[in-house]
Amino acid sequence: MVIKTKMIILIILIFSLNTKIIYSEMTREEINQHLNAAEIFYSSGNYTSALYEFNLIKDIENMSKEKQINYYIKLAVCYKNLDIYDKSIEKLNNALEIDKFNPVIYLNLAEIFEKTGLYEEAIKNYNKVIELNYKDLFYVYYGLAKINQKSGLLSKAIEYYTKALTIKLEPEIYKKLSECYEAMHKFELSSSMLEKYILTKPTVENYMHLSFLFMIQKKYDKSIDLLNTAKNISSNQDEIDLHLATILFKKGDFEKSKKILNELLNKNPESGLLHFLKGFMLYFENENKNIIIKEMNKSIKFAKSEMLKNYAEYFLDFIKTKK
């Protein structure tokens, strides 16, 4: 898809060069026609067609300074959204030659440098937008927050995410804040942020992760309630039941946990993971050693990963040597 898009852009550029030879000068009416067409495509997110129309426009220097800057910025945005970053930067630099104090130019440069992993350049340009007193700093704070999160500077990331939220209540930020707090082992704050995010994104994945966060806090009833909610909207009941069995085990409800595991094993008798978990639970119930050994041998036999096999073998040796 990327190759196809770049081929289209190449054809557009070649065609544009050819049209320059044919038309040495465009009338104001022709320029306006192409500009209007480009604006329509641009507003609808059809950046390939917008780029085609923008590149047909000649005699840019005859436009007003304001229109020239707008032209270069929108041309740059088209290239940026088509992942052609070198051309986007080139057009933004064209705009900077006309106006070095336009914050929108620096904002677009910052976003490109962020996307390409050039974080120092991105930060420099985001700070330039702040310095120029841009009226809407949401994307500046959001961009700086994401860079700091990726760099492991979580407290700084939280600071910028919070600033972004004061400007715009973007639900995705609650998820990002939850990730930051979780990485800092501040699980109560992490679950609080994820609860806010779930109000707008009630997915199975989000319910299951929130359940996990409550389990870490030993809030088992909340954790179980969330898994039951996830079951109501999930097509993969077995995966959720596996998590449910684990939480019930941690809660100390061994009978319910074992019942769910046995039901899962009836449906998946060759699951190495299920046999491992059953053997592990039986050990904590002080079950007969031979029964536990039997489950671990099945786990080793059916294990689909070397890691699971190694864990089962280690636990089996531990059981055999335990008096």
* Distance from the Cα of residue 192 to its chain's centroid: 19
Please write the tens of the pLDDT for every residue from 31-66.
778 888 888 999 999 999 989 988 888 778 878 899
264 backbone dihedrals φ, ψ, rounded to 5°: -65, -40
Question: What would the pLDDT profile of 268-296 be if each residue is shown by its tens digit?
Answer: 999 999 999 999 888 888 878 899 999 99
Instruction: Supply the CATH number for residue 221's domain.
Output: 1.25.40.10
Average pLDDT of the residues in 122-135: 97
68 and 113 both lie in a single domain: no
- Is 65 within the bounds of a domain? yes
Contacts 24+ apart (CB under 8 A), 179-185: 179/149, 180/149, 180/154, 182/213, 183/154, 184/154, 184/155
Residues 84, 69, single domain; the answer is: yes
Out of 60, 89, 118, a domain closes at: 89
Residue 7 domain-assigned (yes or no): yes
User: Confidence class of residue 4 from pLDDT cuts 50, 70 and 90?
Assistant: low
Verify that 80 and 109 share a domain, yes or no: no
- Helix boundaries (H) for 168-267: 171-183, 187-198, 204-216, 220-233, 237-251, 254-267
Do 182 and 214 fall into the same domain? no
Task: Among 4-8, 20-24, 84-88, 143-147, name the one with the lowest average pLDDT.
Answer: 20-24
The pTM for the full model equals 0.82
Residue 192 belongs to some domain of the structure: no
The reply to whether 251 falls in a domain is yes
- Give the pLDDT band (50/70/90) at residue 17: very low
The answer to whether residues 58 and 27 belong to one domain is yes
pLDDT on residue 321: 87
Is 168 strand, coil or helix?
coil
Could you tell me if 42 and 123 lie in one domain?
no
196 within some domain: no
| 62 shares a domain with 6 | yes
Q: Among 23, 57, 89, which residue terminates a domain?
A: 89
More confident residue, 54 or 23: 54
DSSP tag of 24: S
| Torsion 169-174-180-184 (CA) sign | positive
- What's the total number of domains in the chain? 4
CB 79 within 8 A of CB 91: yes
Which residues constitute the domain of residue 274?
A: 269-323
- Does residue 16 register a pLDDT over 80? no
pLDDT given at position 19: 43
pLDDT (tens digit per residue) in 153-186: 999 999 999 999 999 999 999 999 999 999 999 9
Asked if residue 2 and residue 84 are part of one domain, the reply reads yes
Question: Rounded CA gap, 310 and 290, in Å?
Answer: 20
State whether 74 and 40 are in the same domain: yes
Model pLDDT, residue 205:
96
> In the prediction, which pLDDT does 20 show?
42
- What secondary structure does DSSP assign to 107-125, as a single string? HHHHHHHHHTT-HHHHHHH
Give the pLDDT confidence score for residue 5 in this predicted structure. 57
Among residues 36, 64, 89, which one ends one of the domains?
89
pLDDT tens-place string over residues 68-114: 999 999 999 999 999 999 999 999 999 999 999 999 999 999 999 99
Over residues 189-233, the pLDDT tens digits come to 999 999 999 999 999 999 999 999 999 999 999 999 999 999 999
Over residues 296-322, the mean pLDDT reads: 92
Q: 285 in a domain, yes or no?
A: yes
pLDDT at site 276: 94
- 323 within a domain of the structure (yes/no): yes
Query: Is 244 part of any domain?
Result: yes
Query: Does residue 106 sit in the same domain as residue 75?
Result: no
261 plus 275 within the same structural domain? no
- Residue 55 sits at φ, ψ, to 5 deg, of -75, -10
Same-domain status, 262 and 289:
no
